[in-house]
Amino acid sequence: MALLEVRNLSKRFGGLAAVNDVSLDVGQGEILGLIGPNGAGKTTFVNLLTGALPSTSGTMLYEGRDVTRLGPHQRCRLGMARTFQVPQPFGGMTVLENVMTAALFGSSRTGRTRNSAEARARAVLDDVGLGEAADDRAVSLTTAGLKRLELARCLATEPSLIFLDEPLGGLNQTEVTEALDLIRSVRSAGATIIFIEHIMKAVMAVSDRVVVLANGAKLAEGTPSDIVADEQVQLAYLGDVSGAVDRYARLREGRTA
Amino acid sequence: MKLETTASGGGLLRWQRRLGGGPWVAAWAVPLALMLFLLPEVTGAYGIRVAGTIMMYIALAQAWNLIGGYVGLMSLAHSAFFGLGAIGMTIFLINGVPLLLAGLGGVALAVSAALVVGLPTLRLQGHYFVIATLIINEALVNGFLNFSAFGFHGAISQNIIAEVGLMELDGAAYNRVFFYAMAVLAGVAMLIVMLFERSRWGLALKAIRDAEPAAAAIGISVAGVKLGIFVVSAALAATAGAVWAAWLGTVDTTSAFDITLTFEIIVMVFLGGRGTTWGPIIGVLIVFSLNEMIGVEFAELSTIISGLIVVVVVLLQPDGLIELFRQGPRALSLRVISANLRRYQVK
């Protein structure tokens, strides 16, 4: 049984279908890459999967249980956690308090005391490389630091399914490499990951399987190498280039003639 | 905020640590309580009534601070809760319910009203909540003005002195009893705010205020936390209303549901510093001092003057006068004030 089963999920804003009839399965322990050009509906899709937005139609099963109508906090308590594309730190708190709050309210909340939540938060901060910054104010972090804080807060809820919404946006080359290592280590710790990203190369490097969204619908699905070779995907990313090639050819002919 | 880092020993010590002051809480809390206890000995009848009213406003300001300051939701329903506590208790008293139970009955009515307003609107964006809280006060005033049943007539003022049953006390002792009642209520309100601040609820509140979607994403029931705090806030305001009605001995609908009360406590909380433990107390004390200073000499000007002062303070110190205590003289420096003013720029 798949960890997450999505069936015919749609979201309409008025007449616009932002997500249109998407179905997919995510297996236990998998890293699923979710890619698509700008405006393809990736973030809307994640908002549906995490319950931040109500879906218009379709169903979602998590561990075989229907979660379609559950709110984001309920899904989090079941073990689904996410990061945000634009980091959303709790600005009035320290880095440690941000993560501690997540440990107190996440899926492991029962019986957790302040002391154990703090211990858990410190451990997670060490894992993501923010141990030194624990007592800094969250707003004082750099972009890369804020992205790490997003991940730390998400991990502190002790999730089994993690949605990473463009975790590499705004990072430089070194930071991207470090972030990808971090994502791999999270997976080897036993989590299943849905990895939404705009940077195709990065997705291909870590994903076991890739799903391509375009105009809110599922365009293709397969291994990274299948996807790279897929003509439709190239079309979606680059647009229809065949016409341009023809025109260019005619232009050259006209000039030489 | 300080975190507990060591496992705590005895019960008392743990509570003191929860209140954030370690053993030092006792150092100010005990003398303060003693001073309040002895206050009626040194003040006259007028003084003790003012002191009791100040205590009532501290309780009300802290009640509003919970939802308006910490959660950031502009509730306009606090006069409605206050009125429900007063009128609700009156109706129960008239029908032979003992004083304490009648007071609880009034509080229960206010809690139900908070649920009716909060359940549907706290899931939506803030504006719906504000409108709903405004409407409930109007609805209740008009409802109770036309309400005539169970021996209660909303259109006239009701005398409940006999039902409150403290007739054997002389004036000074009577006022003293209610001053103590209001002081205890203010203390309870303070305690609730301080415990909220340092509990997991306090963390949840801060998280919601800073980044609501992220708060929901880490497992915090945003609507649930808001509703819980709104209900606690309503219960506090209603208790103040019930004590007020018992103290006054006569209750009429329009003064019980006077929406001016809501605006007064909002001004106090903003003036002192919303979302802080001590800010509302500073706000209450300043408003009362202003009224005492300018109210008698220039009665007709006092509203204009205090209004101007509020405008100036909110413009120059948007985080409240508590900043003067937090930052010291730096809060009045040109740099801080111009930074404060820039916060009003339209981006």
Q: Among A73, A109, A156, whose Cβ lies nearest the Cβ of B222?
A: A73
Residue the block writes with tokens 């409605």: B80
Pairwise CB contact (< 8 Å): B216 & A72:
yes
Q: What residue of A is the nearest CA neighbor of B222?
A: A73
Return the higher-pLDDT residue of B145 and A46. Answer: A46
What average pLDDT values come out for chain B (347 residues) when binned by 10 residues? Answer: 40 52 65 77 79 93 92 89 93 86 91 90 81 89 84 77 75 84 93 85 87 92 91 95 90 87 90 88 88 70 78 82 80 79 69
Percent of chain A's residues with pLDDT above 90: 44
Return the amino acid letter for B83: G
CA distance B218 to chain A (A): 5
Pairwise CB contact (< 8 Å): B211 & A104:
no
Q: Contact, A104 vs A117, CB < 8 A?
A: yes
Q: What residue of A is the nearest CA neighbor of B7?
A: A115
Residue B75 class from Cβ within 10 Å (0-12 exposed, 13-18 middle, 19+ buried)? buried
Residue B346 class from Cβ within 10 Å (0-12 exposed, 13-18 middle, 19+ buried)? exposed
pLDDT in tens, A60-105: 999 989 999 999 999 999 999 999 999 999 988 899 999 999 998 8
Residues of B in Cβ contact (< 8 Å) with A101 = 200, 203-204, 206-207, 218, 220
Rounded to the nearest 10 degrees, how much is the dihedral formed by the CA atoms of B245, B249, B252, B255? -50
Residues with Cβ within 8 Å of residue B345, at least 6 apart in sequence:
none
CA distances for B86 relative to A117, B101, B166, B175, B265, angstroms: 43, 13, 17, 18, 17
Residues of B in Cβ contact (< 8 Å) with A157 = 218-219
CA distance B57 to chain A (A): 28
**Helix (H, G, I), strand (E, B), or coil: what is residue B260?**
helix
pLDDT in tens, A205-218: 889 999 988 888 88
Residue A242 pLDDT class (50, 70, 90 cuts) = low
Residue A201 pLDDT class (50, 70, 90 cuts) = confident
Answer yes or no: is pLDDT of A253 > 60. Answer: yes
Pairwise CB contact (< 8 Å): A88 & B214:
yes
CA distance A175 to chain B (A): 23
Residue A48 pLDDT class (50, 70, 90 cuts) = very high
Residues linked to residue B78 through DSSP beta bridges, in sequence order? none
Q: What integer pLDDT is reported at residue A254 of this predicted model?
A: 67
Pairwise CB contact (< 8 Å): A101 & B214:
no
Give me the total of CB pairs closer than 8 Å, taking one residue from chain A and one from chain B. 91
Could you report the predicted ipTM of this complex, rounded to two decimals?
0.85
Pairwise CB contact (< 8 Å): B214 & A84:
yes
| For residues A236-254, average pLDDT | 66
Q: Among A102, A105, A118, whose Cβ lies nearest the Cβ of B3?
A: A118
Which 202-221 residues of chain B touch chain A by CB within 8 A?
203-204, 206-207, 209-211, 213-221
Residue the block writes with tokens 């060490």: A126
| DSSP-assigned letters across all residues of B277-344 | SSHHHHHHHHHHHHHHHHHTTTTTTHHHHHHHHHHHHHHH-TT-THHHHHHGGGGGSHHHHHHHHHTT
Residues of B in Cβ contact (< 8 Å) with A90 = 206-207, 210-211, 214-215
B5: contact with A, CB 8 A cutoff: yes
The per-type count for chain B, helices as H runs and strands as E runs, is 17, 4
Q: Contact, A50 vs A80, CB < 8 A?
A: yes
Q: What integer pLDDT is reported at residue B172 of this predicted model?
A: 75
Residues of A in Cβ contact (< 8 Å) with B5 = 115, 118
